Chain A
Amino acid sequence: MDSTSGLHLMDQRTDQILARRTKRQRNWGLCAAVLFALVIWSIDVTVVQDTDWERIGSLGEVLESAGQFAGVDWTLFPDLLGPTLETLLIACLGTALGVILCVPATWFGAMNITPFKPVTYPIARLMMTLSRSIHEIVWALFFVAVFGLGAMAGVFAIAMRSIGFIAKMSAEAIEDIDPGPVEAMRAAGANSFQVLLYAILPQVLPQVAGVVIFEWEINIRRSAVLGLVGAGGLGLVFFRQLNTFNFHGVTSVILAILVIIFLGEAVSHAVRRRMI
Protein backbone atom coordinates (compact mmCIF):
# COMPACT_ATOMS: atom_id res chain seq x y z
CA MET A 1 0.00 0.00 0.00
CA ASP A 2 1.12 3.55 -0.75
CA SER A 3 2.49 5.05 2.44
CA THR A 4 0.97 8.54 1.96
CA SER A 5 -2.52 7.19 1.41
CA GLY A 6 -1.99 5.02 4.49
CA LEU A 7 -1.17 8.13 6.52
CA HIS A 8 -4.18 9.89 5.07
CA LEU A 9 -6.47 7.05 6.13
CA MET A 10 -4.97 7.17 9.61
CA ASP A 11 -5.68 10.92 9.77
CA GLN A 12 -9.29 10.37 8.83
CA ARG A 13 -9.68 7.76 11.53
CA THR A 14 -8.22 10.12 14.12
CA ASP A 15 -10.60 12.86 13.03
CA GLN A 16 -13.53 10.49 13.38
CA ILE A 17 -12.54 9.46 16.87
CA LEU A 18 -11.90 13.06 17.92
CA ALA A 19 -15.27 14.17 16.56
CA ARG A 20 -17.06 11.40 18.42
CA ARG A 21 -15.31 12.28 21.67
CA THR A 22 -16.16 15.99 21.34
CA LYS A 23 -19.78 15.15 20.69
CA ARG A 24 -19.92 12.92 23.75
CA GLN A 25 -18.36 15.63 25.92
CA ARG A 26 -20.87 18.18 24.64
CA ASN A 27 -23.77 15.84 25.47
CA TRP A 28 -22.48 15.29 28.98
CA GLY A 29 -22.11 19.06 29.45
CA LEU A 30 -25.67 19.59 28.29
CA CYS A 31 -27.00 16.94 30.66
CA ALA A 32 -25.12 18.45 33.59
CA ALA A 33 -26.44 21.93 32.80
CA VAL A 34 -30.05 20.69 32.63
CA LEU A 35 -29.64 18.79 35.91
CA PHE A 36 -28.14 21.85 37.60
CA ALA A 37 -31.02 24.04 36.42
CA LEU A 38 -33.52 21.49 37.75
CA VAL A 39 -31.83 21.43 41.15
CA ILE A 40 -31.83 25.25 41.39
CA TRP A 41 -35.47 25.36 40.35
CA SER A 42 -36.55 22.77 42.93
CA ILE A 43 -34.62 24.52 45.71
CA ASP A 44 -36.38 27.74 44.77
CA VAL A 45 -39.83 26.17 44.76
CA THR A 46 -39.56 23.95 47.82
CA VAL A 47 -37.24 25.88 50.11
CA VAL A 48 -37.06 29.54 49.10
CA GLN A 49 -40.70 30.17 48.24
CA ASP A 50 -42.34 27.60 50.48
CA THR A 51 -40.71 28.62 53.77
CA ASP A 52 -42.15 31.22 56.12
CA TRP A 53 -38.89 33.18 56.52
CA GLU A 54 -40.54 35.76 58.82
CA ARG A 55 -41.51 32.99 61.24
CA ILE A 56 -37.96 31.54 61.30
CA GLY A 57 -36.32 34.85 62.11
CA SER A 58 -32.64 35.12 62.87
CA LEU A 59 -30.21 32.23 63.39
CA GLY A 60 -30.41 32.88 67.13
CA GLU A 61 -34.15 32.45 67.08
CA VAL A 62 -33.81 29.18 65.13
CA LEU A 63 -31.43 27.82 67.74
CA GLU A 64 -33.78 28.97 70.49
CA SER A 65 -36.72 27.13 68.91
CA ALA A 66 -34.64 23.95 68.65
CA GLY A 67 -33.40 24.47 72.20
CA GLN A 68 -36.93 24.19 73.54
CA PHE A 69 -36.61 20.41 73.07
CA ALA A 70 -33.42 20.19 75.14
CA GLY A 71 -34.53 18.71 78.41
CA VAL A 72 -36.58 15.75 79.54
CA ASP A 73 -39.92 15.80 81.27
CA TRP A 74 -39.23 13.07 83.84
CA THR A 75 -42.70 13.28 85.32
CA LEU A 76 -44.11 11.94 82.06
CA PHE A 77 -42.34 8.57 82.23
CA PRO A 78 -44.83 6.74 84.47
CA ASP A 79 -47.52 7.65 81.96
CA LEU A 80 -45.37 6.40 79.07
CA LEU A 81 -45.16 2.85 80.37
CA GLY A 82 -48.58 1.82 79.07
CA PRO A 83 -48.23 3.36 75.58
CA THR A 84 -44.69 1.95 75.23
CA LEU A 85 -45.99 -1.52 75.96
CA GLU A 86 -48.86 -0.91 73.59
CA THR A 87 -46.44 0.11 70.82
CA LEU A 88 -44.42 -3.09 71.34
CA LEU A 89 -47.57 -5.19 71.31
CA ILE A 90 -48.84 -3.51 68.13
CA ALA A 91 -45.51 -4.41 66.50
CA CYS A 92 -45.62 -8.03 67.73
CA LEU A 93 -49.29 -8.67 66.91
CA GLY A 94 -49.02 -6.80 63.63
CA THR A 95 -46.02 -8.90 62.57
CA ALA A 96 -47.76 -12.13 63.64
CA LEU A 97 -50.92 -11.22 61.73
CA GLY A 98 -48.77 -10.19 58.77
CA VAL A 99 -47.08 -13.60 58.75
CA ILE A 100 -50.47 -15.33 58.65
CA LEU A 101 -51.79 -13.01 55.93
CA CYS A 102 -48.71 -13.43 53.76
CA VAL A 103 -49.11 -17.22 53.47
CA PRO A 104 -51.33 -17.01 50.36
CA ALA A 105 -49.18 -14.26 48.84
CA THR A 106 -46.06 -16.40 49.35
CA TRP A 107 -47.71 -19.53 48.03
CA PHE A 108 -49.06 -17.78 44.91
CA GLY A 109 -45.92 -15.68 44.47
CA ALA A 110 -43.28 -18.41 44.27
CA MET A 111 -42.94 -19.33 40.61
CA ASN A 112 -42.20 -23.01 41.33
CA ILE A 113 -45.23 -23.74 43.56
CA THR A 114 -47.86 -21.23 42.43
CA PRO A 115 -51.02 -23.26 41.65
CA PHE A 116 -51.99 -21.64 38.33
CA LYS A 117 -49.24 -19.35 37.11
CA PRO A 118 -51.08 -17.02 34.65
CA VAL A 119 -53.63 -16.06 37.34
CA THR A 120 -52.23 -16.70 40.80
CA TYR A 121 -48.74 -15.30 40.22
CA PRO A 122 -49.93 -11.81 39.15
CA ILE A 123 -52.39 -11.77 42.08
CA ALA A 124 -49.51 -12.40 44.48
CA ARG A 125 -47.30 -9.74 42.88
CA LEU A 126 -50.19 -7.26 43.13
CA MET A 127 -50.69 -8.08 46.83
CA MET A 128 -46.98 -7.59 47.52
CA THR A 129 -46.76 -4.30 45.64
CA LEU A 130 -49.97 -2.93 47.16
CA SER A 131 -48.77 -3.77 50.66
CA ARG A 132 -45.42 -2.07 50.20
CA SER A 133 -46.35 0.94 48.12
CA ILE A 134 -48.94 2.18 50.62
CA HIS A 135 -47.29 3.88 53.60
CA GLU A 136 -48.03 2.55 57.08
CA ILE A 137 -49.56 5.90 58.04
CA VAL A 138 -51.96 5.62 55.10
CA TRP A 139 -52.80 2.04 56.07
CA ALA A 140 -53.39 3.29 59.63
CA LEU A 141 -55.67 6.11 58.42
CA PHE A 142 -57.63 3.51 56.48
CA PHE A 143 -58.00 1.15 59.44
CA VAL A 144 -58.80 3.98 61.86
CA ALA A 145 -61.64 4.80 59.49
CA VAL A 146 -62.67 1.13 59.52
CA PHE A 147 -62.20 0.14 63.19
CA GLY A 148 -62.13 3.55 64.87
CA LEU A 149 -59.36 4.95 67.04
CA GLY A 150 -57.15 2.54 68.95
CA ALA A 151 -54.52 -0.16 68.80
CA MET A 152 -56.53 -2.56 66.61
CA ALA A 153 -56.20 -0.19 63.65
CA GLY A 154 -52.46 -0.10 64.35
CA VAL A 155 -52.17 -3.89 64.39
CA PHE A 156 -53.90 -4.19 61.03
CA ALA A 157 -51.91 -1.34 59.51
CA ILE A 158 -48.63 -3.01 60.55
CA ALA A 159 -49.85 -6.40 59.30
CA MET A 160 -50.83 -5.07 55.88
CA ARG A 161 -47.58 -3.15 55.55
CA SER A 162 -45.57 -6.27 56.48
CA ILE A 163 -47.09 -8.64 53.91
CA GLY A 164 -45.13 -7.32 50.96
CA PHE A 165 -41.62 -7.71 52.28
CA ILE A 166 -42.11 -11.01 54.10
CA ALA A 167 -44.01 -12.57 51.18
CA LYS A 168 -41.50 -11.36 48.59
CA MET A 169 -38.46 -12.62 50.48
CA SER A 170 -40.13 -15.93 51.37
CA ALA A 171 -41.31 -16.50 47.81
CA GLU A 172 -37.79 -15.86 46.56
CA ALA A 173 -36.40 -18.28 49.15
CA ILE A 174 -38.84 -20.93 47.92
CA GLU A 175 -37.82 -20.29 44.31
CA ASP A 176 -34.19 -20.87 45.28
CA ILE A 177 -34.60 -24.23 47.04
CA ASP A 178 -32.72 -27.36 46.05
CA PRO A 179 -35.29 -29.30 43.95
CA GLY A 180 -33.73 -32.65 44.92
CA PRO A 181 -35.72 -33.29 48.11
CA VAL A 182 -38.93 -32.25 46.31
CA GLU A 183 -38.24 -34.89 43.68
CA ALA A 184 -37.47 -37.48 46.35
CA MET A 185 -40.70 -36.83 48.25
CA ARG A 186 -42.79 -36.93 45.08
CA ALA A 187 -41.10 -40.18 44.10
CA ALA A 188 -42.07 -41.65 47.49
CA GLY A 189 -45.75 -40.92 46.75
CA ALA A 190 -46.13 -37.77 48.85
CA ASN A 191 -48.92 -35.30 47.98
CA SER A 192 -48.32 -31.56 47.46
CA PHE A 193 -49.01 -30.72 51.09
CA GLN A 194 -46.51 -33.31 52.26
CA VAL A 195 -43.94 -32.10 49.74
CA LEU A 196 -44.39 -28.56 51.06
CA LEU A 197 -44.04 -29.72 54.66
CA TYR A 198 -41.08 -32.06 54.18
CA ALA A 199 -39.11 -30.81 51.20
CA ILE A 200 -39.78 -27.06 50.99
CA LEU A 201 -40.45 -25.66 54.48
CA PRO A 202 -37.34 -27.10 56.17
CA GLN A 203 -35.19 -25.54 53.45
CA VAL A 204 -36.62 -22.03 53.73
CA LEU A 205 -37.45 -21.87 57.46
CA PRO A 206 -34.18 -20.25 58.63
CA GLN A 207 -34.36 -17.59 55.93
CA VAL A 208 -38.03 -16.86 56.52
CA ALA A 209 -37.53 -16.63 60.28
CA GLY A 210 -34.69 -14.16 59.72
CA VAL A 211 -36.91 -12.03 57.47
CA VAL A 212 -39.77 -12.07 59.99
CA ILE A 213 -37.51 -10.97 62.83
CA PHE A 214 -36.05 -8.20 60.67
CA GLU A 215 -39.57 -7.06 59.77
CA TRP A 216 -40.58 -7.15 63.46
CA GLU A 217 -37.68 -4.87 64.29
CA ILE A 218 -38.79 -2.39 61.60
CA ASN A 219 -42.39 -2.70 62.78
CA ILE A 220 -41.40 -1.39 66.22
CA ARG A 221 -40.27 1.81 64.52
CA ARG A 222 -43.45 1.92 62.47
CA SER A 223 -45.81 1.34 65.36
CA ALA A 224 -44.13 4.14 67.33
CA VAL A 225 -45.52 6.75 64.93
CA LEU A 226 -48.92 5.21 64.15
CA GLY A 227 -50.46 7.04 67.12
CA LEU A 228 -50.06 10.29 65.20
CA VAL A 229 -53.15 9.30 63.25
CA GLY A 230 -54.91 7.75 66.23
CA ALA A 231 -53.86 4.13 65.83
CA GLY A 232 -52.60 3.70 69.42
CA GLY A 233 -49.22 3.55 71.11
CA LEU A 234 -46.54 6.15 71.77
CA GLY A 235 -47.37 8.27 68.74
CA LEU A 236 -50.56 9.43 70.39
CA VAL A 237 -48.68 10.69 73.46
CA PHE A 238 -46.13 12.35 71.18
CA PHE A 239 -48.93 14.16 69.38
CA ARG A 240 -50.51 15.29 72.66
CA GLN A 241 -47.22 16.67 74.03
CA LEU A 242 -46.58 18.61 70.85
CA ASN A 243 -50.09 20.06 70.83
CA THR A 244 -49.78 21.26 74.42
CA PHE A 245 -46.34 22.78 73.68
CA ASN A 246 -44.71 20.48 76.26
CA PHE A 247 -41.49 20.19 74.27
CA HIS A 248 -39.60 18.39 77.04
CA GLY A 249 -42.40 15.84 77.01
CA VAL A 250 -41.79 15.32 73.29
CA THR A 251 -38.15 14.54 74.07
CA SER A 252 -39.29 12.04 76.72
CA VAL A 253 -41.42 10.22 74.15
CA ILE A 254 -38.53 10.18 71.68
CA LEU A 255 -36.33 8.64 74.41
CA ALA A 256 -38.94 5.97 75.06
CA ILE A 257 -39.09 5.19 71.34
CA LEU A 258 -35.29 4.93 71.23
CA VAL A 259 -35.32 2.51 74.16
CA ILE A 260 -37.73 0.07 72.53
CA ILE A 261 -35.96 0.35 69.19
CA PHE A 262 -32.65 -0.56 70.82
CA LEU A 263 -34.44 -3.38 72.61
CA GLY A 264 -35.80 -4.62 69.31
CA GLU A 265 -32.41 -4.47 67.66
CA ALA A 266 -30.77 -6.33 70.53
CA VAL A 267 -33.37 -9.10 70.49
CA SER A 268 -33.26 -9.35 66.71
CA HIS A 269 -29.48 -9.52 66.68
CA ALA A 270 -29.36 -12.18 69.40
CA VAL A 271 -32.03 -14.37 67.83
CA ARG A 272 -30.60 -14.17 64.34
CA ARG A 273 -27.11 -14.98 65.55
CA ARG A 274 -28.41 -18.03 67.35
CA MET A 275 -30.22 -19.25 64.25
CA ILE A 276 -27.16 -19.11 62.04
Chain B
Amino acid sequence: MAVLEVRDLHARYSARGPEILKGISFDVEGDDFFAIIGPSGAGKSTLIRCINRLVDPTSGTVKFNGREVTTLSSRDLRLVRRDIGMIFQEFNLIDRMSVMDNVLSGRLGYTGNLRTLFRMFPRKDIDHALHLLDRVGLSDHVDKRADELSGGQRQRVGIARALMQDPKLMLLDEPTSALDPKISREIMALIKEMAEELNVPCLCNIHDVKLAMEFCNKMIGLQDGMTMFAGPTADMNEAKLDEIYAMEVL
Protein backbone atom coordinates (compact mmCIF):
# COMPACT_ATOMS: atom_id res chain seq x y z
CA MET B 1 0.00 0.00 0.00
CA ALA B 2 1.15 3.49 -0.76
CA VAL B 3 2.25 5.60 2.19
CA LEU B 4 0.78 8.69 0.58
CA GLU B 5 -2.09 8.84 -1.89
CA VAL B 6 -2.95 12.19 -3.38
CA ARG B 7 -6.06 12.36 -5.59
CA ASP B 8 -7.30 15.25 -7.71
CA LEU B 9 -5.90 17.93 -5.42
CA HIS B 10 -6.99 21.52 -6.02
CA ALA B 11 -5.80 24.56 -4.11
CA ARG B 12 -6.22 28.31 -4.19
CA TYR B 13 -5.25 30.90 -1.59
CA SER B 14 -8.36 33.05 -1.80
CA ALA B 15 -11.84 32.55 -3.22
CA ARG B 16 -11.24 34.91 -6.12
CA GLY B 17 -7.50 34.25 -6.50
CA PRO B 18 -6.00 32.06 -9.21
CA GLU B 19 -6.12 28.29 -8.83
CA ILE B 20 -2.62 27.17 -7.85
CA LEU B 21 -3.15 23.41 -8.13
CA LYS B 22 -5.49 22.06 -10.78
CA GLY B 23 -6.09 18.43 -9.96
CA ILE B 24 -2.87 16.69 -8.94
CA SER B 25 -2.74 12.94 -8.28
CA PHE B 26 0.17 10.69 -7.33
CA ASP B 27 1.24 7.92 -4.93
CA VAL B 28 4.35 7.72 -2.80
CA GLU B 29 5.38 4.16 -1.92
CA GLY B 30 7.33 3.03 1.11
CA ASP B 31 10.77 3.16 -0.48
CA ASP B 32 10.31 6.11 -2.83
CA PHE B 33 12.44 9.19 -3.14
CA PHE B 34 9.81 11.11 -5.05
CA ALA B 35 10.61 14.38 -6.79
CA ILE B 36 8.27 17.22 -7.67
CA ILE B 37 9.94 19.29 -10.36
CA GLY B 38 8.83 22.31 -12.34
CA PRO B 39 9.52 25.99 -12.84
CA SER B 40 9.03 28.66 -10.17
CA GLY B 41 5.36 29.37 -9.61
CA ALA B 42 4.27 25.93 -10.84
CA GLY B 43 2.76 25.14 -7.42
CA LYS B 44 5.44 22.86 -5.96
CA SER B 45 5.55 24.56 -2.56
CA THR B 46 1.77 24.72 -2.34
CA LEU B 47 1.49 21.04 -3.24
CA ILE B 48 3.94 19.90 -0.55
CA ARG B 49 2.24 22.14 2.04
CA CYS B 50 -1.14 20.60 1.23
CA ILE B 51 0.18 17.21 2.39
CA ASN B 52 0.57 18.31 6.04
CA ARG B 53 -2.00 21.10 5.64
CA LEU B 54 0.25 24.06 6.22
CA VAL B 55 -1.94 25.07 3.30
CA ASP B 56 -5.50 23.75 3.17
CA PRO B 57 -6.45 22.31 -0.24
CA THR B 58 -9.80 23.44 -1.62
CA SER B 59 -10.73 19.96 -2.83
CA GLY B 60 -9.31 16.52 -3.43
CA THR B 61 -8.01 13.90 -1.02
CA VAL B 62 -4.72 13.22 0.73
CA LYS B 63 -4.43 9.80 2.35
CA PHE B 64 -1.46 9.25 4.65
CA ASN B 65 -1.08 5.57 5.63
CA GLY B 66 -4.71 5.08 4.66
CA ARG B 67 -5.96 7.99 6.79
CA GLU B 68 -7.67 10.98 5.17
CA VAL B 69 -5.76 14.13 6.15
CA THR B 70 -7.89 16.88 4.60
CA THR B 71 -10.80 16.44 7.03
CA LEU B 72 -8.86 15.98 10.29
CA SER B 73 -9.63 18.08 13.38
CA SER B 74 -6.76 20.33 14.49
CA ARG B 75 -5.93 17.91 17.30
CA ASP B 76 -5.75 14.86 15.04
CA LEU B 77 -3.89 16.92 12.46
CA ARG B 78 -1.12 17.58 15.02
CA LEU B 79 -0.85 13.84 15.64
CA VAL B 80 -0.49 13.21 11.90
CA ARG B 81 1.97 16.07 11.49
CA ARG B 82 4.36 14.63 14.05
CA ASP B 83 4.65 11.54 11.83
CA ILE B 84 5.66 13.72 8.88
CA GLY B 85 9.09 15.35 9.03
CA MET B 86 9.68 18.49 7.00
CA ILE B 87 12.86 20.14 5.73
CA PHE B 88 12.77 23.70 4.40
CA GLN B 89 14.55 25.77 1.81
CA GLU B 90 15.48 28.46 4.34
CA PHE B 91 16.09 25.85 7.08
CA ASN B 92 13.57 27.60 9.40
CA LEU B 93 15.69 27.04 12.50
CA ILE B 94 15.21 29.00 15.69
CA ASP B 95 18.27 31.21 15.41
CA ARG B 96 18.63 32.17 19.03
CA MET B 97 18.43 28.62 20.34
CA SER B 98 21.20 26.05 20.54
CA VAL B 99 21.62 23.32 17.95
CA MET B 100 20.47 20.81 20.60
CA ASP B 101 17.30 22.77 21.39
CA ASN B 102 16.57 23.07 17.68
CA VAL B 103 16.84 19.32 17.18
CA LEU B 104 14.76 18.66 20.31
CA SER B 105 12.03 20.95 18.95
CA GLY B 106 11.28 18.11 16.52
CA ARG B 107 9.81 16.32 19.56
CA LEU B 108 7.30 19.08 20.44
CA GLY B 109 4.42 17.03 19.02
CA TYR B 110 5.21 14.38 21.64
CA THR B 111 5.82 16.84 24.49
CA GLY B 112 3.36 18.42 26.93
CA ASN B 113 2.99 22.16 27.46
CA LEU B 114 4.60 22.19 30.91
CA ARG B 115 7.62 20.25 29.71
CA THR B 116 7.85 22.59 26.71
CA LEU B 117 7.82 25.63 29.00
CA PHE B 118 10.83 24.37 30.96
CA ARG B 119 12.41 22.59 27.99
CA MET B 120 12.38 19.35 29.98
CA PHE B 121 12.87 16.71 27.33
CA PRO B 122 13.26 13.08 28.45
CA ARG B 123 16.71 11.55 28.55
CA LYS B 124 16.01 9.27 25.60
CA ASP B 125 15.18 12.31 23.43
CA ILE B 126 18.49 13.92 24.27
CA ASP B 127 20.29 10.62 23.57
CA HIS B 128 18.49 10.34 20.26
CA ALA B 129 19.31 13.96 19.36
CA LEU B 130 23.00 13.42 20.12
CA HIS B 131 23.00 10.29 17.99
CA LEU B 132 21.34 12.10 15.07
CA LEU B 133 23.67 15.09 15.36
CA ASP B 134 26.58 12.68 15.23
CA ARG B 135 25.11 11.06 12.10
CA VAL B 136 24.70 14.38 10.30
CA GLY B 137 28.25 15.37 11.28
CA LEU B 138 27.53 18.05 13.85
CA SER B 139 28.69 16.40 17.06
CA ASP B 140 31.14 19.26 17.62
CA HIS B 141 28.44 21.92 17.34
CA VAL B 142 25.83 20.65 19.79
CA ASP B 143 25.95 23.67 22.13
CA LYS B 144 26.44 26.36 19.51
CA ARG B 145 23.66 28.75 18.66
CA ALA B 146 21.96 27.89 15.38
CA ASP B 147 22.85 31.26 13.84
CA GLU B 148 26.56 30.57 14.29
CA LEU B 149 26.48 27.78 11.70
CA SER B 150 27.06 27.88 7.95
CA GLY B 151 24.25 27.20 5.49
CA GLY B 152 25.14 23.56 4.96
CA GLN B 153 25.47 22.98 8.70
CA ARG B 154 22.13 24.67 9.30
CA GLN B 155 20.42 22.33 6.87
CA ARG B 156 22.04 19.40 8.68
CA VAL B 157 20.36 20.64 11.85
CA GLY B 158 17.10 20.80 9.87
CA ILE B 159 17.59 17.16 8.82
CA ALA B 160 18.28 16.05 12.39
CA ARG B 161 15.22 17.98 13.62
CA ALA B 162 12.96 16.29 11.04
CA LEU B 163 14.37 12.81 11.82
CA MET B 164 13.88 13.50 15.53
CA GLN B 165 10.15 13.09 14.91
CA ASP B 166 10.63 9.42 13.93
CA PRO B 167 8.78 10.34 10.74
CA LYS B 168 6.92 7.87 8.53
CA LEU B 169 7.28 10.33 5.62
CA MET B 170 9.60 13.22 4.88
CA LEU B 171 8.58 16.36 3.01
CA LEU B 172 11.51 18.26 1.53
CA ASP B 173 10.75 21.75 0.27
CA GLU B 174 13.67 22.79 -1.95
CA PRO B 175 16.18 21.50 0.61
CA THR B 176 19.19 22.64 -1.39
CA SER B 177 18.10 25.85 -3.11
CA ALA B 178 19.86 28.07 -0.58
CA LEU B 179 23.13 26.11 -0.83
CA ASP B 180 26.00 26.02 -3.28
CA PRO B 181 26.22 23.08 -5.76
CA LYS B 182 28.82 21.07 -3.87
CA ILE B 183 27.02 21.36 -0.51
CA SER B 184 23.70 20.69 -2.27
CA ARG B 185 24.92 17.31 -3.47
CA GLU B 186 26.26 16.45 0.00
CA ILE B 187 22.97 17.38 1.63
CA MET B 188 20.92 15.37 -0.87
CA ALA B 189 23.22 12.38 -0.39
CA LEU B 190 22.89 12.67 3.38
CA ILE B 191 19.08 12.87 3.23
CA LYS B 192 18.93 9.89 0.89
CA GLU B 193 21.30 7.85 3.05
CA MET B 194 19.35 8.57 6.24
CA ALA B 195 16.00 7.96 4.54
CA GLU B 196 17.13 4.55 3.25
CA GLU B 197 18.62 3.60 6.57
CA LEU B 198 15.48 4.55 8.51
CA ASN B 199 13.11 3.33 5.79
CA VAL B 200 11.37 6.66 5.37
CA PRO B 201 9.93 7.63 1.98
CA CYS B 202 10.63 11.19 0.83
CA LEU B 203 8.62 13.66 -1.20
CA CYS B 204 10.93 16.35 -2.48
CA ASN B 205 10.33 19.67 -4.20
CA ILE B 206 13.37 20.35 -6.26
CA HIS B 207 14.21 22.98 -8.79
CA ASP B 208 17.51 21.47 -9.85
CA VAL B 209 16.63 18.80 -12.42
CA LYS B 210 20.11 17.28 -12.43
CA LEU B 211 19.93 16.58 -8.69
CA ALA B 212 16.42 15.21 -9.10
CA MET B 213 17.53 12.81 -11.83
CA GLU B 214 20.48 11.70 -9.73
CA PHE B 215 18.72 11.08 -6.41
CA CYS B 216 15.05 10.40 -7.09
CA ASN B 217 13.43 7.22 -8.42
CA LYS B 218 10.09 8.78 -9.39
CA MET B 219 8.96 12.25 -10.29
CA ILE B 220 6.09 14.39 -11.34
CA GLY B 221 6.64 17.51 -13.39
CA LEU B 222 4.32 20.44 -12.67
CA GLN B 223 3.57 23.36 -14.90
CA ASP B 224 1.11 26.03 -13.85
CA GLY B 225 -0.58 23.68 -11.36
CA MET B 226 -1.00 20.79 -13.78
CA THR B 227 0.85 17.49 -14.09
CA MET B 228 2.98 17.45 -17.25
CA PHE B 229 4.84 14.24 -16.44
CA ALA B 230 4.46 11.43 -13.95
CA GLY B 231 6.53 8.29 -13.77
CA PRO B 232 9.89 6.75 -12.97
CA THR B 233 12.91 9.01 -13.36
CA ALA B 234 14.21 6.66 -16.05
CA ASP B 235 11.32 7.67 -18.35
CA MET B 236 12.20 11.35 -18.13
CA ASN B 237 14.02 12.81 -21.09
CA GLU B 238 15.30 16.08 -22.49
CA ALA B 239 12.21 16.77 -24.64
CA LYS B 240 9.81 16.33 -21.74
CA LEU B 241 11.95 18.55 -19.55
CA ASP B 242 11.95 21.25 -22.19
CA GLU B 243 8.18 21.08 -22.28
CA ILE B 244 7.86 21.37 -18.48
CA TYR B 245 10.24 24.29 -18.26
CA ALA B 246 9.04 25.96 -21.48
CA MET B 247 7.26 28.71 -19.59
CA GLU B 248 10.15 29.54 -17.33
CA VAL B 249 11.79 32.05 -19.67
CA LEU B 250 8.65 34.18 -19.68
B165 surroundings in chain A (CB, below 8 A): 188-189
A58 vs chain B, min Cβ distance (A)? 65
**Chain B interfacial residues counted at CB < 8 A:** 34
A41 CB–B CB distance under 8 Å: no
**Do most interface residues of chain A lie in helix, strand or loop, or is the interface mixed?**
helix
CB-nearest residue of chain B relative to A196?
Answer: B116
Report the separation of the CA atoms of residues A199 and B94 in the bound assembly, to the nearest whole angstrom. 6
Give the complex CA separation of A181 and B146 in angstroms.
12
Q: Please determine whether B113 and A184 come into contact, CB atoms closer than 8 angstroms.
A: no
Would you call B106 and A193 a contact (CB within 8 A)? no
Q: Does B249 contact A (CB under 8 A)?
A: no
Partner of B94, one of A186, A193, A198, A206: A198
Which residues of A36-68 are within 8 A (CB) of B? Answer: none
In the assembled complex, the CB of B218 is this many whole angstroms from the nearest CB of chain A, namely 23
**Interface set, chain B 134-193, CB cutoff 8 A to A:** 158, 161-162, 165, 171
Q: Is the CB of A189 within 8 A of B82?
A: yes
Q: How far is the CA of A180 from the CA of B97 in the complex (A)?
A: 15
Q: How far is the CA of A186 from the CA of B88 in the complex (A)?
A: 13
- Contact residue among A187, A197, A205 (Cβ-Cβ distance under 8 Å from B96): A205
Closest to B96 in A: A202
Q: A181-B93, A184-B92, A189-B78 are in contact. Are A198 and B108 (CB under 8 A)?
A: yes
Shortest beta-carbon distance, B241 to chain A, in Å?
30
Is B86's CB within 8 Å of the partner chain A? yes
For residue A191, CB closer than 8 A to chain B, the reply is: yes
A-B pairs under 8 A by CB, number? 78
Roughly how many angstroms separate A180 CA and B107 CA in the complex, as a whole number?
A: 18
Q: Distance (Å) between the CB of A185 and the closest chain B CB? A: 6
- The reply on A15 being an interface residue by CB < 8 A is no
Quick one: given A183-B54, A197-B116, A197-B117, are A190 and B108 in contact (CB under 8 Å)? yes
Question: In the bound complex, what is the Cα–Cα distance between A205 and B96 (angstroms)?
Answer: 10
Asked if A191 and B113 make an inter-chain contact with CB atoms under 8 angstroms apart, the answer reads yes
Q: Is the CB of A202 within 8 A of B94?
A: yes
**A183 / chain B contacts, CB cutoff of 8 Å:** 54, 88, 92
Residue in B81, B93, B94, B171 whose CB lies within 8 Å of A189: B81
A14 within 8 A of B: no
- B203 on interface, CB distance cutoff 8 Å: no
Chain B residues within an 8 Å CB radius of A129: none
Complex interface residues of chain A between 174 and 233 (CB less than 8 A to chain B)? 180-181, 183-191, 193-194, 197-199, 202-203, 205-206
Evaluate whether A187 and B54 lie within 8 angstroms (CB atoms) in the complex, with A194-B108, A198-B108, A199-B94 already known: yes
Known pairs A180-B88, A180-B92, A183-B92; A190 contacts B117 (CB<8 A): no
Identity of the chain B residue whose Cβ is nearest the Cβ of A182 in the assembled complex: B92
Q: How far is the CB of B161 from chain A (nearest CB, A)?
A: 7
User: Is B195's CB within 8 Å of the partner chain A?
Assistant: no
A-side residues, CB < 8 A to B, are 180-181, 183-191, 193-194, 197-199, 202-203, 205-206
25 A-B residue pairs with Cβ-Cβ distance under 8 Å, sorted by A, are: A181-B92, A181-B93, A181-B94, A183-B54, A184-B105, A185-B105, A188-B85, A188-B108, A188-B109, A189-B80, A189-B81, A189-B82, A190-B78, A190-B105, A191-B113, A193-B113, A194-B111, A194-B113, A197-B116, A197-B117, A198-B105, A198-B116, A199-B94, A203-B95, A203-B96
